[in-house]
Amino acid sequence: MKWPTSLQLCLLAAVFLTGCGMRPEFVPPEPDDEAYAPPPLDYSLPEAKDGSLYRHQYMMTLFQDRRAYRVGDILTVLLNEETESSKKANTKYGKDSSVGFDAPTFGTNTIDDLAVGINAARSFDGSSASSQGNKLEGAITVTVHEVLPNGVLRVSGEKWLRLNQGDEFIRLTGIVRVDDVDRRNQVSSLRIGDARITYSGRGALADSNAAGWLSQFFNSPWMPL
């Protein structure tokens, strides 16, 4: 029986290690991530001062719409993402050169065998094209996690949908100006700064679209070819 060499063992170990260390896009997500959970809140009302029934930021007003502006308030984000990009490049160049030496002549005799001629030609023709488009529509309701000193809201939240063949989820974080929130307490995703929007899924359908660990190895940077 012929035992494998050390080089073969190293290559085999690299394949298994690459398969174990899956790329982030193939790692199935889990719900109830603390980063997207609502912030802990104290629901006790502040005490009224000087015998008044008014409590700051806890009273309904007749002069403005009800919008999210405090930590713990909820806000509906309308997903209106659509991107499209294309790129095309063409490069072409060429060069021809020639050098010739006539046959030397000695008196009336010409030695044709000593004639020299050199010709060279080179050319290059390359082209490339790339296009990509993405579109995401829907809605997700998030929670205000922080109110920055300038009044901007930092929001975060997730939504999971259990379907018959797996789960689909949307996660969103970003910062929102109160001025961009409409009277229905909604804001477009195009108005969210520093937005991080994730739409993906897990289950039988997601697994069927994911590459296996061996395919990941042959398409990873570890593959020299």
Give me the percent of the chain exceeding a pLDDT of 70.
59
Mean pLDDT of the chain: 77
- The whole-number average pLDDT for the span 141-164 is 90
* Residue pLDDT, tens place only, 93-142: 888 888 776 766 666 666 666 667 778 887 878 888 888 888 889 999 99
In contact, 81 and 198? CB cutoff 8 Å: no
Q: How far apart are CA 153 and CA 203, in angstroms?
A: 34
Residues of 93-130 as b/e, b for ≥16 C-beta within 10 angstroms? eeeeeeeeeeeeeeeeeeeeeeeeeeeeeeeeeeeeee
Q: Is the pTM of this model over 0.75?
A: no
Per DSSP, 123 falls in state E
Q: How far is CA 156 from CA 130, 179, 213, in A?
A: 34, 18, 33
pLDDT greater at residue 121 or residue 53: 121
Contacts of 205 (CB under 8 A, 6+ apart): 165, 166
Tell me what pLDDT residue 146 has: 92
* Residue pLDDT, tens place only, 182-196: 989 999 999 999 999
- For Cα atoms 36, 42, 47, give the angle at the middle one, nearest 5 degrees: 150
192, with CB counted inside 10 A (0-12, 13-18, 19+), is: buried
What is the dihedral sign for C-alpha 13, 15, 16, 18?
positive
* Residue pLDDT, tens place only, 13-40: 655 555 455 555 556 667 778 878 888 8
Residue 72 in this model has a pLDDT that exceeds 80: yes
